[in-house]
Amino acid sequence: MGMRVSKADLSEIVGRDERTLTRWQNDGMPVIEFGLGRGNENQYDTEAVIQWLMQQAALNGKKESSRDRLDRVRANREELALAKDLGEVVIASDLVGRFEAMITAAKVELLNSFPDELAEQLSARYGVEVDERLIADPIETILRRLSDYDKDDAQSDGDSDEPDDPEGLEENGD
């Protein structure tokens, strides 16, 4: 968000008189707050107003009709379909399906084959009997944690209100 300014301030910033701003406002220029009653001024966000002015300049003063907008949306859909056909974009649901299949295959391997094979290899190499549960239990724990994964937790910026180690805080007296 840019600066919050009055119409008089905005007039100075964009170099136009207040009557022009009123006309622009009627044409759709964004207003943060409408001043109600005598002596109360409208408030504007300079960033939003400048973006609106740039959009107007890009249109060369032309308004986009409903038909033009519909044509633009259809063209965007066609471009997206072409990009998909060319393999330039991927549909999220297709990607999720493939990813889930890979995860399932990895889980099956980690839970079924890997612990037995590793236990046999370690037993053969070191001449001691290795219990496959010593390998399988930590893998199951890790997979259980992964299944509890919450994508919202991963997007945290590290400034969580929740302590990382609640037991450690109790020991320190916090």
For residue 87, the model assigns a pLDDT of 85
Prediction pTM value: 0.37
Token pair in block for residue 65? 């009709």
pLDDT tens per residue across all 174 residues of the chain:
788 998 899 999 999 998 999 888 888 899 998 877 666 788 999 999 999 888 888 877 666 677 877 888 999 999 989 988 898 888 888 888 888 899 999 999 998 899 999 999 999 999 999 999 999 999 999 988 888 877 666 555 554 545 454 444 444 444
DSSP single-letter state for residue 27: T
Rg value, the chain, Cα: 31
Confidence at residue 155, expressed as pLDDT on a 0 to 100 scale = 57
Contact at 8 Å (CB) between 49 and 14?
yes
Query: CA–CA separation, 32 vs 4, rounded Å?
Result: 8
Q: What angle do CA 117, 120, 124 make, to 5 degrees?
A: 140
pLDDT of residue 166: 47
CATH number of 4-58: 1.10.10.10
Instruction: Report d(CA 79, CA 66) in Å as an integer.
Output: 20
Domain boundaries, the chain: 4-58, 92-150
pLDDT tens digit string along 3-41? Answer: 899 889 999 999 999 899 988 888 889 999 887 766 678
